[in-house]
Amino acid sequence: MTRILRRSCRTIASTSAFAAILATAVASPAALAAQPASDAPAPAAAAPAASTASPTVATGTLAGAAWRAEVPAAWNGKLVLFAHGFRAGPANPAWDAGFAPTASALVAGGYAVASSSYATTGWALGTAAQDQLDTLTAFQDRFGAASRVIAVGRSMGGLVTSMMAEIPGSGIDGAVSTCGLVGGGVSLNNYQLDAAYSAAELLLPGQDVRLTGFTTQAESAETIAALKAALQQAGTSAEGRARLALVAALLNTPTELDGVDADNPEALAAAQAKLVLDTLPTVIERRYTVVNAAGGDSGWTAGVDYAKLLGSSAQRQLVEHLYSEAGRNLNGDLSTLTANADIEPSNRGLQWMLKTSTPTGELQVPLLATHTTVDLLAPVEFQEEYAETVRQAGKNSLFRQAFVDRAGHCNFTVAENIAAIEAMDQRLETGRWGSVATTANLQHAATSLKLDGANYVDFRPDEFINDRTWTPAH
């Protein structure tokens, strides 16, 4: 008990020091402008000293990827290496607009921040991890070796960061994956395909709707239009709404929604149907970028038992209720889905995705994963799948997860991001997790920064039901 209390106090003291430095920076009129000023702690025995000097900005290009770094005048020696999320293009800047407020606060608090554009837009997993490590090399060539390197990523970049954390001798010391696609690229393709396939099969029976292998955005336009119309029409009947609930379950659509009574199945199903209508066309539209990167579509339905999938879903009872109310045969629809499931993956595409875009869980450095509880584009259930992967690899001691009670993909506050990064810094400083990544400590650390609030909560994600292994028939 005593050791835990001491560790907790140490963590709080460290975060309080960062908060004090940041507060000093904010007090300066120029402190957090577009080119943020910086403040950093002096050596350990001294009080923190603030600086209002602008950070040094360095840029460059490596193997087609642009990079950028900002280093405060009073650099504390620590580097945050940031990996951005999916970009459709053509714009592909090195500095990420979504992370910029957090980067500004980190620089103001003494950290250096560096990031890469990656060599390509779209599904950039073929080079993204190496692009990040090349950026690290370029940074250290310019500014000298960092005393500590913390890799941070969001969305697709969260997956990139998780993959980097598995590389022996990568040069990073720890990692923070936020809203990451940590279920991996194959699972991403398959859960989205399961939803699209069930919608096409049940709402457009007998129609030949293309669902995979798109190589341009235009190729998916007809499919998107047909599915949008079918989803909208389905909402006008009890039978259609029941089938929409099944599609929503396979898409891992959230059930804890603001302003929606979770105990009212009809209201919940209606809210989910709107989310499906918003989400499914978006993910289908982006599929071609993954196909092109991989050299083929890695998704499949052949051999999938859809009754088994639904049986594992936390939403099974909701689907069963709506089918019962509609007087429809759920088992019949599930049997139809299973019997007609004949989409096979491209072997080339699948092998590429397994090699470049699928975590093994073989962590080489500590990793903290954070996620919002309601996320349409990276379902929080991915965290259940990733935790299982890490556990099976025997690396659980290097892994922690934390959750923020908020809706939206990557919808974290600056304070929540900084608290997670500071928690990783303390994990690396002490060599132990202790209580540093607990909900209570993260919440305290984030709120003590007095920035934009925080809502870390205890949470356990439901099972990710769409994971599977491809077994060729021949």
Contact 248, 220 (CB under 8 A): no
Domain membership of residue 195 as a residue range: 185-353
Residue 148 sits in the same domain as residue 194: no
Q: Determine the average pLDDT of the residues in 384-409.
A: 97
* pLDDT-wise least confident of 28-42, 294-308, 450-464: 28-42
pLDDT at 262: 87
Residue 336 sits in the same domain as residue 371: no
Residue 298 sits in the same domain as residue 314: yes
Q: Of all helices (H) and strands (E), which one includes residue 463?
A: none
Residue 25 sits in the same domain as residue 168: yes
Q: Determine the average pLDDT of the residues in 184-193.
A: 97
Confidence of residue 22 (pLDDT cuts 50, 70, 90): low
The Cβ of residue 93 has, within 10 Å, a number of other Cβ atoms equal to 12
DSSP characters over 78-108 = EEEEEE-----SS---SS-TTTHHHHHHHHH
Residue 157 sits in the same domain as residue 177: yes
pLDDT at 17: 65
pLDDT at 148: 98
Residue predicted with more confidence, 135 or 24: 135
Which structure tokens are listed for 447? Answer: 């709120």
pLDDT at 27: 47
Q: Choose one of 353, 378, 402: the last residue of a domain.
A: 353
Confidence of residue 32 (pLDDT cuts 50, 70, 90): very low
Confidence of residue 34 (pLDDT cuts 50, 70, 90): very low
Tell me what the pLDDT averaged over the chain comes to.
Answer: 90
In a domain, 472, yes or no: no
Residue 168 sits in the same domain as residue 237: no
DSSP characters over 334-401 = HHHHHHH------HHHHHHHHHHS------SS-EEEEEEEE-SSS-THHHHHHHHHHHHTT-GGGEEE
Contact 184, 357 (CB under 8 A): yes
What is the share, in percent, of the chain residues with pLDDT greater than 90?
86
Residue 406 sits in the same domain as residue 452: yes
> How many structural domains compose the chain?
2
In a domain, 189, yes or no: yes
Q: Choose one of 304, 321, 353: the last residue of a domain.
A: 353
Q: Determine the average pLDDT of the residues in 102-114.
A: 97
pLDDT at 12: 40
Residue 331 sits in the same domain as residue 246: yes
Give Cα 419 distance to the centre of its chain.
17
Residue 37 sits in the same domain as residue 50: yes
CATH number (domain holding residue 156)? 3.40.50.1820
* pLDDT-wise least confident of 11-15, 58-62, 414-418: 11-15
